[in-house]
A and B are shown apart, each in its own frame.
Chain A
């Protein structure tokens, strides 16, 4: 497996524009997590899915953020409208809890800059 794949790797957009971040988890993994990382706040959990179902979105900062997982191999995180304070690195990670204690594998991240 190629690992967790995120796209794009870098995104520069203007304030007010819609941004969509994409994630392809490792095949067979039943959990998918979206995180945001900044110097000030570290790695924050935004939302996570179990078997494609959103479980907890309490970490989503505002209604401008939304996430979907239409099937086991694809998830999106959307910001509409984007603001400069959304600038951060966004990571997606997947985990296979069915195999017992195991690690979460991270994608390469998307570096978002909102100007």
Chain B
């Protein structure tokens, strides 16, 4: 079992819709959780991080964390074609030092 799992997609949504991206992780020592966006040919860039159970909102983006279920999600409201990219879930795990592990990413397509 991979440590961080994501559906590879593609997830296709119409412009203006809500896109829901999901991620599960296996290590209960996971402490912080990140969502990165990666455009084709570019390096990943951080969208949001979350480390407490519940929701965290930033503009059109909401991250949700449920540590009991080992589940993290990212909601994108009012999706735009410019949101089309690969979204990477990352987990910071403590194991005598910190280790940052990524999922394989979910490709999101927003149709105009």
Contact = CB atoms under 8 A, between A and B. Distances in A.
Q: B interface, how many residues as a size bin? A: 20 to 34
Contacts of A55: 96-97, 99
B107 to A, nearest CB: 11
Residue among A41, A42, A50, A106 with max Cβ neighbours from chain B (10 Å): A42
B101 interface: yes
Contacts of A31: 98, 100
Nearest to B3: A45
A43 B104 CA distance: 6
Interface string A77-115: 000000000000001010101000111101111000000
B25 interface: no
Nearest to A56: B99
B100 A93 contact: yes
Nearest to A109: B43
A108 B45 CA distance: 11
Interface residues of A, number: 23
Task: Report which residue of B43, B44, B46, B104 has the largest number of chain A beta carbons within 10 angstroms of its beta carbon.
Answer: B43
B46 A103 contact: yes
A104 B43 contact: no
11 contacts: A35-B102, A42-B105, A43-B44, A43-B88, A43-B102, A45-B99, A48-B99, A91-B43, A97-B98, A101-B49, A101-B51
Interface of A: 31, 33, 35, 41-43, 45, 48, 50, 55-56, 91, 93, 95, 97, 101-104, 106-109
Closest 5 CB pairs of A and B: A42-B104, A106-B43, A43-B102, A103-B46, A55-B97
